[in-house]
Amino acid sequence: MSNEADVPPSARRVQAALEAAGHDGRVTTFDQSTRTSAEAAEAIGCQVAEIAKSLIFRAKQSDRAVLVIASGDKRVDEKKLKALLGEKVGRADADFVREKTGYAIGGVPPLGHSTPPVAFLDETLWRFERIWAAAGTPNAVFPLSPDDLPALTGGQRADIAQD
């Protein structure tokens, strides 16, 4: 873990967004990667399922960014996502993710995006009291409760994981 002076600008933006939202979570940076759920869980010392991964999809008709926050041990069911959104979705490429969120893939946080996305929150995250989310870089995270997600993201809690 690194100290606050070593926190990169994009992670400081996430910390500022947390503070603006009245959340007391603190961004922590690591010397090792937290880019994937498995890497994050190893760095933090938690289960992969306790990682709240922020995935950006691209709505096919409207070209909107769609944020899905899913448990690290689950895959998103794109058919369920399409039904919730009312239009087809596809995976977003790196340029689209950076343009819409202001962050690179592997460090996309659940809040503080350049353009507020439509957001859906995977029901399975509520198995835990505390979860960990990316904080703007591929080696920064912050703790939160699943109950914090609706207020931080404007997201809708939904059954969105593959069965």
CATH number at residue 8: 3.90.960.10
- If one counts every other C-beta atom within 10 angstroms of the C-beta of residue 52, the result is 28
Task: Examine residue 58 and state whether it is found in any structural domain, yes or no.
Answer: yes
Task: Examine residue 163 and state whether it is found in any structural domain, yes or no.
Answer: no
Taking 50 as the pLDDT cut, the residues of the chain under it are: 1-3
pLDDT given at position 163 = 87
Eight-class DSSP state of 86: T
In whole angstroms, what is the distance from residue 28 CA to residue 81 CA? Answer: 31
Own/partner contacts of 100-103, CB < 8 Å, gap of 24 or more, are 100/56, 100/65, 101/56, 101/65, 102/10, 102/13, 103/10, 103/136
pLDDT given at position 4 = 54
Tokens 């994009």, residue located:
10
Q: What is the count of structural domains for the chain?
A: 1
- Domain carrying residue 126: 4-158
β-bridge partners, 9: none
pLDDT given at position 76 = 96
pLDDT given at position 138 = 94
